[in-house]
Amino acid sequence: MIAFVTRRLAQALLIALGVVTLTFILLHAAPGDPFAAAAESPYLSPQAIEQARRNYGLDRPLWVQYLRYVGNLARGDMGVSFSLHRPVSEALLDALPNTLLLAAAALILDFGLGITVGTLQGMRAGTRLDRTLSIVTLALFSTPVFWLGLMLLLVFSQTLGLFPVGGVTDPVLYPSLSPLGKLLDRLWHLCLPAWTLGLVGAAGTARYQRAAILEVVRQDFIRAARARGLSERAVAMRHALRNALLPTITLFGLTFPVLLSGAVLVETVFSWPGMGKLTVDAVLRRDYPLVLGATVLAALMVVLGNLLADLAYRVADPRTREER
């Protein structure tokens, strides 16, 4: 197991280097100037733009900039953001917990709801309930995540006033709240963005899970379990679900990057200051160090997500342990 994890972590570093190189080339090949982005303002001059390029070393040859960046990165220095005027690592560390919180909440909803609904559908395939849920999950799965977010905002925030319009906390109240109050305030603000991201994911997961259950319930061991007189609930929970989970675990590893990309839109709709929003803004401003830092971090997170899925798979299915 240790050798497996070590091998995967070494692969992760190689992937990160590949991602850095590719992103570096693409960023510099793209048209646009990081220091021209504030033009149309009375507070900028062409001289200041030129000076900024010199101060940040953008007047050097590209290969020099690349080697310098990779060297600094190896020492843990991700550079200083052009647009935020602060170390990239600090900016990422500020945004990362918000993204992880949102992604974790959305994952729980996604898989909790998706597996439950999918299992229910699979065990009652062909019934009216199954058909109704199929239509609902298909509709949800086809819904653009930003549109769903806007609709939830419109209904639950603006019309019903049950949830805040956005943000991570209430900036007026939060500093004066007790620790419990602070926790609840955060959860209250998390609800709509997490449901937005989680619902669309859950619809997809449910459809996977339904198919997996249908595959499993045709197997002999399910027939044998039923022949032994076990209740439908026991058959579903103890036998069908556990075996049908394997493809869903694979899905878990694939879902993580999807959640990260989906989070960009949700973060924008709900003013949620996470990695997605930070990265998109950085790309638009051609903030090279911030884009590169965010890309490396995202790549590592995706690799780690897949590693976690592989480990979970090995735990759930003993055969894979023997094969490796």
Applying CB under 8 A, the residues found at the interface with another protein are 30-34, 36-48, 51-52, 55, 80, 83-87, 91, 94-95, 98, 153, 157-158, 160-162, 164-169, 171-173, 175-182, 184-185, 188, 267-269, 271, 273-274, 277-278, 284-286
Residue 260 CA neighbour count, 13 Å, CB half? 23
Core vs surface per residue 223-246: b (16+ CB within 10 A) or e: eebeeeebeeeebbeebbbebbbb
- CA-based nearest residue to 312, from 113, 107, 120, 122: 107
- In the complex, minimum distance from the CB of residue 31 to another protein, in angstroms, rounded to a whole number: 4
CA dist 184 and 163 (Å) reads: 12
Q: Residue 30 or residue 74: which is nearer to another protein going by CB? A: 30
Closest separation in Å from C-beta 101 to another protein = 13
End-to-end CA distance of the chain: 9
Minimum separation from the CB atom of position 161 to another protein (A):
7
Nearer to another protein, 98 or 243 (CB): 98
Beta carbon of residue 304, minimum distance to another protein (angstroms, whole number): 24
- Cα separation, 90 vs 72, whole angstroms: 15
Instruction: Choose between 157 and 250: whose C-beta lies nearer to another protein.
Output: 157
CB of 207 to another protein, least distance (A): 30
Q: Specify the residue, 47 or 142, whose C-beta has the smaller distance to another protein.
A: 47
Residues near 25 by beta carbon (within 8 Å), at least 6 away in sequence: none
CA–CA gap between residue 199 and residue 259 (Å, rounded): 12
81 vs 121, which CB is nearer to another protein? 81
Nearer to another protein, 249 or 282 (CB): 282
Q: Least CB distance from residue 183 to another protein, whole Å?
A: 9
Specify the residue, 33 or 232, whose C-beta has the smaller distance to another protein.
Answer: 33
Number of helical (H) and strand (E) elements in the chain, helices listed first? 13, 0
Q: 158 vs 109, 162, 203, 282, CA distance in Å?
A: 24, 8, 26, 30
The three-class DSSP label of residue 57 is: coil
Closest distance to another protein from the beta carbon of 261 (Å): 16
Q: How far apart are CA 230 and CA 234, in angstroms?
A: 6
